[in-house]
Amino acid sequence: MSETLLQETDARAGAAIAEGPDWLEAVRRAAAERFAQTGFPGSRDEEWRFTPIGPIAQGVWRAAPTASAGVTREQLAPFTFGHPEWNTLVFVNGLYSEALSTASALPAGVVVSSLAEALRSDGALLERHLTRHAPAEGSPFTAVNTASFREGGVVHVPANVDLDQPVHLLFVSTAAAGGSVTHPRNLIVVERGARASVIESYVTLAPGQSYWSNPVTEVSAGAGSWLEHTRIQRESEAAYHVGLTHVDQQRDSHYRSFSMAMGAALARHNLHVRLNDENVETLMYGLYLTRGEQVADNHTAIFHDHPNCRSWEVYKGVLDDRSRAVFNGKVFVTPEAQKTDAKQTNRNLLLSDSAKVNTKPQLEIFADDVKCTHGATVGRLDSAALFYARSRGVPAAAAERLLTYAFAAEVIDEVALPPVREELDRLVLERLETGV
Amino acid sequence: MLNIKDLRASAGGVEILKGINLAVRPGEVHAIMGPNGSGKSTLAQVLAGHPAYEVTGGSVTYLEQDLLDMEPEERAQAGVFLAFQYPVEIPGVSNAYFLRAAYNEIRKARGMEEVDSMDFIDLLEEKLKLVEWESEIMSRAVNAGFSGGEKKRNEILQLAVLEPKLAILDETDSGLDIDALRIVAAGVNKLRSQDRSFIVVTHYQRLLNYIVPDHVHVLSSGRIVRSGGKELALELEARGYEWVEAAEAMA
Amino acid sequence: MSSSVESLVNKEYKYGFVTDIESDMAPKGLSEDIVRFISARKHEPEWLLDWRLKAYRGWVKMTEPHEWPNIRYQPVDYQNLRYYSAPKTGKPFGSLDEVDPKLLETYEKLGIPLSEQKILAGVAVDAIFDSVSVGTTYKAKLAEQGIIFCSFGEAVQEHPELVRKYLGSVVPASDNFFAALNAAVFSDGSFVYIPKGVRCPMELSTYFRINTAETGQFERTLIVAEAGAHVSYLEGCTAPKRDENQLHAAVVELVALEGATIKYSTVQNWYAGDEKGRGGIYNFVTKRGKCAGANSKISWTQVETGSAITWKYPSVILQGDNSVGEFYSVAVVNGHQQADTGTKMIHLGKNTRSTIVSKGISAGQGQNSYRGLVKVLPKAAGARNYTQCDSMLIGNRCGAHTFPYIDVQNSSSSVEHEASTAKIGEDQIFYLKQRGLNTENAISMIVNGFCKEVFKELPMEFAVEAQKLLGISLEGSVG
């Protein structure tokens, strides 16, 4: 398999961004070499112990088709939160489609463009950030992405600019994507004192297709910046999705993430946040809904390297049928990071007797004056609450839906953008009505 | 009993007390009033020896001893008691065990025999009545999960058990509803005696309706800017702190 | 403040002396011949020698685990160790009156008097010195109720059918590297059998002492509680101060049949090494209990203050319906100590319940890891687990690590894990000082409060010992 991938990398060298700058080509070559050495992680690798990546490692994946023919704006309407006017970069099977994208007026200096375009027009910015936050050494999947990416979204908000409208990076797969792999690479840079909201969506127009998405997103949050980052993964339920988001935060910055996973046969998302200075605030919310044989795997890591920072994490899951969820949350607190206040919670609701959960909330603390807690629960709906609802006349099935929705709504409520929050609410309710 | 002369203290390099002078005789109740940030609580903490404050000048004599030269526990053993504005929680340590340990430390320091747990229970039962409390509170961990009012009441219970010579109440009234205030004040009044003095630090005159002071001092920007009898508190209530601050600015 | 806290935890190791006694020793190194040597010294039956040899052959193919535990050390040179050392004097299984006075003196110095006149009331003791049992108190009195409490070696001779039935039934010889090593070379240990319906009238206790240099201690303890039986067992350990590391690789197996209860308490105070991190015991122990019958209960309580490295996970297999597993732990690391300890609760039966309370205190440059697994298998309907895992750090050079693994495969179960870190706050200390306590007592009181939920699980005598070990006084019974 790794050979196939590397061939694909070579093929790419002559394709979309052959004019890539030298520094990037060097990074890509190193990443390709690294992957050639490591290959895919094995089952003894602690980081991947519970993640069945066999179908990816053993699969033969072709490069995604280059034509985005046939996709219309109408088809994309359900994915735009009722706001088609928002700045939206649309990628069909991994390739940027200018025709389907929406460019609204932006404050001066703001960049919202495809990666290929940004490499041409904002080379200096990309050289500073691209591949610098999420190095290829971090994981074999990141190495593959680094060696192979063609496209992705770039958002750059200059210092002290308030981006009052969200930016949406929308990755769409079509029936033509079957058997192919894409490696989207996104970069979000919010400079000092700037404020922005970015949504990253992975959706499908061909629900039965099997393909592999391997995105990497790098985020740089400057001093005093505010960034809401919402990630919605609704891939085909036969697809494989292995994504990584790496965030670097500077002093006084506020980063809030919401990560929703509903799609894919196997969905893995790593969210790593490094707190590079004092007085940083990080909020991480997650929700996963699984059914059938789906596996949803969330790995989060937060690195408290400096004093007086706060991190708050809540990941919740609702599991039905024979699906499985994996949660692994790490909180590292270095000796310098005094007065750290970190809280991490993972809660799982099992709706079926055959659903399974592996959760491992993990603390590694080297400073003494800190407040760190974590908690994990696995269980089913509270029978007392169910009975209470039924005794007030709510039928059992409706009571279950109501309580399950309430369980999920607790994290959805943390999404700051009302249209996104409402859409997530609707998605959850819709899922509950058709059976989770 | 207590003689404070030109006391200066700072925290983190910022001077908060800028020359306090105050004399307290046995049996007297002194109220220290003042706006937020005037240094009231700092004065209370400095008298108890809190390590966060650095004394930069002046002297404090307590019963012929140099108070500033003593460790916090030595001050406690010598009869100085601070009722904290924010009492600290100590998970896993029962109230009863904690109080008996403190009681015995103070007795030891005074050359008295330690009491065993049975005798101590009898003593406690009697003191609990003073704050209108049931004995089940004693098996709970010190202040852990206590409401604000319970914490303050616990401070007065400790005051009753440890029988200090000088009790400093640091904003004991803050966060109390009227019933809790009445219980706390009644407890304090029952503990007033010829040889026990009180320094009552408060922002509001309300507490002084219940604990009637002999002297009232107004603190502003780290200095006592006005002293008088209990009527001064009423005057302050009527005219507000701006009045003394304005008077100070003119002086 | 933190310097005073550190000095508090830095108490002098009182048990670091060496007993000068002539020993019968195996030559250094490990081979099939050594396994045969040990088996022959102990006059073992053929089946046991075969069991050992099989374990040895398995062990040779295994590697010392270094990747997953959060501990760092040079691999042990297994050929440079001695696997058998026994005091020359004294007959095996003789009366305590015949024991060498030097040995009796040793145990007296350790606070464990063995001679008839002085034995502890209410506690029966099996004293293990290096590779053999020195003697067991109250043996006859316990036998009146059909309780067997003796050294493992004696049990092999006197009750081979029981040993053969249960040996390796909970911790198979192939279980892990150290368990396999132990199965090959174990020398002695304690054996306990409580007959059906009998409530053991006193605490049973084993005191482990390593004395000889360059010797490992590989004891094996087996406790079987028949239906409705009840026993509380205590274990204590010390060793002399030496510059080299010594290996202690024990195996403990507990079997609780229907309605039986086994309570197993450990106060582990092996030599921890000096302030530079030289010497100390490597405490690599496999402890596991099986709640084989319905409504049975196994409860582990441990206070781990010693050893250079501790690697142990006292676990419970909850096989019987409605069975209960408990794990209460205080682990203290200071100086250069490392601990990777925790538990596994494997829920197999219906309505099985487990409780885990772990308190880790890290000081100096110590590294303390909690590692736990709660596994609920598909048939364990209605299983419940509650885990609480608290860490306290004293100073800025130590670390606390929490690695809980939760694996749930049954939807009617409920698993809850909570973890937190606590510190000894400046404000807490000032508050206690303002009430008349000095710094040392104030810290004792806070640490004691932190560990309270575990100490209250220990039998009274051990609770006192444990709190002394932490340099703190027992919390009174008032209120």
Six token digits for residue B246: 């304005």
Using pLDDT thresholds of 50, 70 and 90, give the confidence band for residue C91.
low
Q: Is residue C344 part of a domain?
A: yes
Q: Which chains does C contact via 3+ CB–CB distances below 8 A?
A: A, B
Interface check for C434 against chain B (CB to CB < 8 A): the answer is yes
Residues facing residue C280 across a β-bridge: C245
Mean pLDDT along residues C6-10? 47
Closest residue of chain A to C394, computed from CA coordinates: A368
B221-236: pLDDT as tens digits:
999 999 999 899 888 8
Nearest CB to C478: which of B50, B82, B96?
B96
Domain boundaries, chain A: 2-277, 382-436
Q: Which option is the CATH number for B2-250: 3.40.50.10490, 3.40.50.300, 3.40.1390.20, 3.40.430.10?
A: 3.40.50.300
C296-309: pLDDT as tens digits:
999 999 988 888 89
CA distance C308 to C367: 11
User: Who wins on pLDDT, A380 or C464?
Assistant: A380
| pLDDT < 50: residue spans in chain A | 1-3, 6, 9-18, 436
Interchain contact, A378 vs C399, CB within 8 Å: no
Phi first, then psi, for residue C280 (nearest 5°) are 105, 160
Closest residue of chain C to A357, computed from CA coordinates: C408
How far from C206 is each of C127, C160, C325, CA to CA, in Å? 6, 21, 22
Six token digits for residue C375: 């596994």
Which residues of A are less than 8 Å from C378 in CB distance?
353-354
**pLDDT of res. C479:** 21
CA distance C458 to C316: 18
Interface check for A37 against chain C (CB to CB < 8 A): the answer is no
CA distance A420 to A174: 23
Mean pLDDT along residues B112-117? 89
B-C contacts (CB, under 8 Å): 102
Interface check for B156 against chain C (CB to CB < 8 A): the answer is no
Name residues whose C-beta falls within 8 Å of residue C101's C-beta, 6 or more positions apart in sequence.
Answer: none
Q: Is residue C279 part of a domain?
A: yes
> Cβ–Cβ contacts within 10 Å for residue A70, how many?
11
Using pLDDT thresholds of 50, 70 and 90, give the confidence band for residue C478.
very low
> Cβ–Cβ contacts within 10 Å for residue C236, how many?
21
Interface mutation vs chain C, best among B67, B105, B122, B136, most C CBs within 10 Å: B105
**pLDDT of res. C118:** 67
Interchain contact, C393 vs A360, CB within 8 Å: no
C417-446: pLDDT as tens digits:
888 887 777 888 899 999 999 887 888 888
Interchain contact, C433 vs B100, CB within 8 Å: no
Closest CA to C115 of C131, C127, C104: C104
C residues 47-106 lying closer than 8 A (beta carbon) to A? 68
Interface check for A317 against chain C (CB to CB < 8 A): the answer is no
Closest CA to B29 of B158, B168, B134, B128: B168
How far from B91 is each of B95, B104, B145, C124, C423, CA to CA, in Å? 10, 21, 9, 35, 11
Mean pLDDT along residues B46-54? 92
Using pLDDT thresholds of 50, 70 and 90, give the confidence band for residue C477.
very low
Nearest CB to C418: which of A351, A369, A375?
A375
Interchain contact, C415 vs A376, CB within 8 Å: yes
**pLDDT of res. C462:** 72
Give the range among A158-162, A366-370, C26-30, C207-211 with minimum mean pLDDT: C207-211
Phi first, then psi, for residue C146 (nearest 5°) are 85, 10
Residues facing residue C199 across a β-bridge: C230
Mean pLDDT along residues B1-15? 94
Residues facing residue A221 across a β-bridge: A190, A249
Q: To 10 degrees, the CA torsion angle through A46, A50, A55, A59?
A: -10
Interchain contact, C402 vs A374, CB within 8 Å: yes
What ipTM does the predicted assembly reach?
A: 0.87
Mean pLDDT along residues B68-96? 91
Closest CA to C354 of C312, C382, C390: C382
Phi first, then psi, for residue A369 (nearest 5°) are -100, 70
Name residues whose C-beta falls within 8 Å of residue C52's C-beta, 6 or more positions apart in sequence.
Answer: C35, C38, C39, C183, C184, C185
How far from C166 is each of A120, C58, C256, C347, CA to CA, in Å? 74, 20, 11, 21
Closest CA to C108 of C94, C90, C96, C122: C96
Between helices B95-109 and C439-455, what is the axis angle to 10°? Answer: 150
Interchain contact, B121 vs C453, CB within 8 Å: no
How far from C200 is each of A310, B55, B206, CA to CA, in Å? 53, 63, 64
Using pLDDT thresholds of 50, 70 and 90, give the confidence band for residue C184.
very high
Q: Is residue C64 part of a domain?
A: yes
Q: Are C360 and C327 in contact (CB under 8 A)?
A: no
Closest residue of chain B to C476, computed from CA coordinates: B97
- For chain B, give me the number of helices (H) and strands (E)? 9, 12
Nearest CB to C420: which of A373, A378, A380?
A373
Please provide the DSSP assignment of C411-427 as one string.
TT-EEEEEEEEE---HH
Phi first, then psi, for residue A310 (nearest 5°) are -120, 135
Q: Residue C206: give the domain boundaries.
A: 2-469
Interface check for C125 against chain B (CB to CB < 8 A): the answer is no
Per DSSP bridges, beta strands A310-319 and A281-290 are parallel
Which residues of A are less than 8 Å from C5 in CB distance?
none
Q: Read off the pTM.
A: 0.82
Q: Is residue C479 part of a domain?
A: no
Instruction: Tell me the shortest Cα–Cα distance from B1 to chain C, in angstroms.
Output: 19
Interface check for A430 against chain C (CB to CB < 8 A): the answer is no
Per DSSP bridges, beta strands C230-238 and A212-213 are unpaired
Residues facing residue A287 across a β-bridge: A260, A316
Q: Is residue C118 part of a domain?
A: yes
Q: Is residue C476 part of a domain?
A: no
Six token digits for residue B125: 């039962």
